[in-house]
Amino acid sequence: MISANSKNNMLIRLTDERIGHIFKNHPETKECISWFLETIENPDFILAGDFGELLAVKHYDKTPVTNDKFLVIVYKETNKLDGFILTAYFSRSINKKRRMVWKP
Q: What does the pLDDT look like over 29-57, one tens digit per residue?
A: 999 999 999 999 999 999 999 999 999 99
* Averaged pLDDT for residues 68-88: 95
Residue 40: inside a domain: yes
* Averaged pLDDT for residues 48-71: 96
Residue 34: inside a domain: yes
* Averaged pLDDT for residues 84-88: 98
* Averaged pLDDT for residues 4-21: 96
Residue 104: inside a domain: no
Residue 44: inside a domain: yes
Tell me how many domains the chain contains.
Answer: 1
Question: In DSSP terms, which residues pair with 91 in a beta bridge?
Answer: 70
Residue 53: inside a domain: yes
Residue 55: inside a domain: yes
Of 92 and 81, more confident = 92
CA triple 104-84-90, angle to 5 deg: 60
pLDDT at 68: 94
pLDDT at 96: 87
Structural domain for 9, as ranges: 2-98
Sign, Cα dihedral of 79, 5, 45, 88: negative
Residue 17: inside a domain: yes
Residue 103: inside a domain: no
